[in-house]
Amino acid sequence: MLSKNKIKQIQSLNRKKIRDESGLFLVEGNKMVEESLRSGFIIETLICTSEFIQAHPEIRMRAQEIIETDSELIHKASLLQNPQDSLAIVRMPDTTNPTENFENELILALDFIQDPGNLGTILRIADWFGIHNVICSENTVDVYNPKVVQASMGAIFRVKTKYTQLDDFLNRAKDSGIPVYGTFLEGENIYSEKLTRNGILILGNEGNGISESAAKFVTQKLFIPSFSSEPNQPESLNVAIAAAICCSEFRRR
Amino acid sequence: MLSKNKIKQIQSLNRKKIRDESGLFLVEGNKMVEESLRSGFIIETLICTSEFIQAHPEIRMRAQEIIETDSELIHKASLLQNPQDSLAIVRMPDTTNPTENFENELILALDFIQDPGNLGTILRIADWFGIHNVICSENTVDVYNPKVVQASMGAIFRVKTKYTQLDDFLNRAKDSGIPVYGTFLEGENIYSEKLTRNGILILGNEGNGISESAAKFVTQKLFIPSFSSEPNQPESLNVAIAAAICCSEFRRR
């Protein structure tokens, strides 16, 4: 049975402090729980209905603890508006890999992305376009925020994220001669620019774009041109939309 | 001063029934209100602080009624979590234009888009890529839903939307020989397909994609290829992300 204490633990994972201290995060909704079962992540606790267990026999091998309960109690524990038949408490992977080598791949660097939906969507885009590493500035929203996990649609189990001091990271990249891309109003038309197969693409904050301190390290400024003929031109694209168009341009060539 | 009745009217515009009966919708947040001032839309009532009026002298010409009040009362009336110094009650434009001619332009057809954020984002993408007309199935979320208005970031004032029986519309288009595009898992790689300058691009429901009844009218099936090398392939892209990549491909050529 699902104890009151367990429900308390589940709900406490909505708070970053608790997640950081415990190294655990919450996965909600059947599709996302199925993704966690297929992933290499350690599932500490799986809370689900008996029907869900029957439909997923691999659960017994994957989850360290299984709590069988009814939908009603899952609804009580869940942070979702429309909870389903399962939720999982999952251990964050270790990201303290000492040797990084980003020279030959395209990676994304997130400069103060604030909105959980945007971060989740950006991970989903990275996943689609075969981008394995996403570097996040320390002020970017936490990737284990339940809304990010949800919006990622499983990408969180495949795309590696690392929080770091972004300027230091970009500085090291520049020193290694890795191209650093970013979109700016005064940039070059992305459709006609030569783009490398490797490099770092910086995505800036929703309201303010790429910060001045990160912009210093950009070696190639890009611009997604607008095709609007209206007298009141649209000002900008949403950051996830811009990310999608940029990734599409890097990959199609 | 902002009366209790006016606050009631503002908040009632959260309901589609009230919006449809009155022909009015709500515009919140300074940036969006500024967009409404620059638009050709009729502003029935503008509620704002005296500072906002001073900063926008054109208000006297644009708004039929101006209610000067303090931020506190605007906060009380607003549906936003972080309201600002202004909100406007705006008249919906007339969309009963009898002669439509879509033969020479690229237009979007939305097939049961449910999420207000997605609809707003799709309008913003259309605006950026110079797409002037978006046709919505009758079960698509209402474009004057306050969350759609907000997510559109002003695109709602520039991109024309029309709700109609989608299958009839697509049938007429097909009869006129207009190319009808849609993305399908079995479609052709969008990066290498020939795309016309005109045509209709169908965007399908978040969970179920393009409906069978609309799919019948598609003359060219497209597919955005994934570049993932993971054993667990990502299943799909968010509909707004797919829209952005498709529009980018149609326009860049």
What distance in Å separates the CA atoms of residue B211 and residue A168, rounded to the nearest whole number? 49
What distance in Å separates the CA atoms of residue B203 and residue B239, rounded to the nearest whole number? 7
Q: Which residues of A touch B154 (CB under 8 A)?
A: 232, 234-235
Question: In terms of CA atoms, which chain B residue is nearest residue A243?
Answer: B241
Which helix H or strand E contains B187, and what residues bound it? strand B180-189
- Strand pairing class (A106-110; A133-137): parallel
Per-residue pLDDT band for B94 (boundaries 50, 70, 90) equals confident
Q: Which residues of B touch A118 (CB under 8 A)?
A: none
Per residue in B146-190, pLDDT (tens digit) is 999 999 999 999 999 999 999 999 999 989 999 999 999 899 999
Do B106-252 and B4-91 fall under one CATH topology?
Answer: no
Chain B nearest-CA distance from A3, in A, is 33
- From the list A125, A158, A226, the residue facing B128 with the nearest CB is A226
- From the list B226, B249, B251, the residue facing A227 with the nearest CB is B251
Phi, psi (5° rounding) for residue B9?
-60, -45
Q: Which residues of B touch A197 (CB under 8 A)?
A: none
Chain A nearest-CA distance from B7, in A, is 28
Is the model's pLDDT at B96 over the cut of 90? no
In terms of Cα–Cα distance, which of A100, A253, A122, A107 is closest to A180? A107
- Write out the DSSP string of B104-136: TSEEEEESS---HHHHHHHHHHHHHTT--EEEE
Residues A186-201, buried b or exposed e (16+ Cβ, 10 A)?
ebeebeeeebeeebbb
CATH code given to domain A4-91: 3.30.1330.30
Please name the amino acid found at residue B78: S
Chain B nearest-CA distance from A125, in A, is 7
Chain B nearest-CA distance from A71, in A, is 22
- pLDDT digit of tens for each residue in chain A (253 aa)? 789 999 999 999 999 999 999 999 999 999 999 999 999 999 999 999 999 999 999 999 999 999 999 999 998 888 888 878 999 999 999 876 655 677 889 999 999 999 999 999 999 999 999 999 999 999 999 999 999 999 999 999 999 999 999 999 999 998 999 999 999 989 999 999 999 999 999 999 999 999 999 999 999 999 999 999 888 888 889 999 999 999 999 999 8
- Strand pairing class (B63-68; B43-48): parallel
Q: Which residues of B touch A234 (CB under 8 A)?
A: 124, 127-128, 153-155, 158
Do B142 and A243 meet the contact criterion of CB atoms below 8 Å apart?
no
Q: Which residues of A touch B34 (CB under 8 A)?
A: none
Phi, psi (5° rounding) for residue A90?
-120, 145
- Write out the DSSP string of A102-171: -TTSEEEEESS---HHHHHHHHHHHHHTT--EEEEETTSPPTTSHHHHHHHTTGGGTSEEEEE-HHHHHH
Q: Do B241 and A154 touch (CB under 8 A)?
A: no
Chain A nearest-CA distance from B111, in A, is 20
- From the list B38, B226, B235, the residue facing A232 with the nearest CB is B38
**Cβ partners under 8 Å of residue B39, min gap 6:** A232, B157, B158
In terms of Cα–Cα distance, which of B100, B106, B141 is closest to B120? B141
Q: Residue written as tokens 């360290």?
A: A64
Q: Which residues of A touch B224 (CB under 8 A)?
A: 128, 248
Burial tier of B5 (Cβ tally within 10 Å: 0-12, 13-18, 19+): exposed
Cα torsion B5, B6, B7, B8: sign: positive
Q: Does B188 touch chain A (CB under 8 A)?
A: no
Please name the amino acid found at residue B60: R
Q: Which residues of B touch A124 (CB under 8 A)?
A: 234, 237-238, 241
Give the pair of three-digit tokens for residue B78.
């607003």
Interface probe for B, chosen from A127, A148, A251 (most Cβ of B below 10 Å), is A127
Do B200 and B103 meet the contact criterion of CB atoms below 8 Å apart?
no
Q: Do A117 and B121 touch (CB under 8 A)?
A: no
- From the list B121, B226, B251, the residue facing A128 with the nearest CB is B226
Chain A nearest-CA distance from B229, in A, is 6
Q: Residue written as tokens 């992977």?
A: A93
SS (H, E, C) A191-251: CCCCCCCCEEEEECECCCECCHHHHCCCCEEEECCCCCCCCCCCCCCCHHHHHHHHHHHHH
In chain B, domain spans: 4-91, 106-252
Q: Does B107 touch chain A (CB under 8 A)?
A: no
Chain A nearest-CA distance from B232, in A, is 8
Give the pair of three-digit tokens for residue A62.
């994957």
Q: Do B128 and A237 touch (CB under 8 A)?
A: yes
Q: Which residues of A touch B158 (CB under 8 A)?
A: 228, 230, 232, 234
Q: Name residues 229-248 of chain A within 8 A of B (Cβ).
A: 229-230, 232, 234-238, 240-241, 244-245, 248
User: Is residue A55 helix, strand or coil?
Assistant: helix
Q: Which residues of A touch B39 (CB under 8 A)?
A: 232
Chain A nearest-CA distance from B22, in A, is 27
Per residue in B34-93, pLDDT (tens digit) is 999 999 999 999 999 999 999 999 999 999 999 999 999 998 888 888 878 999 999 999
The correct CATH number of B106-252 out of 3.30.2020.10, 3.90.1170.40, 1.25.50.10, 3.40.1280.10 is 3.40.1280.10
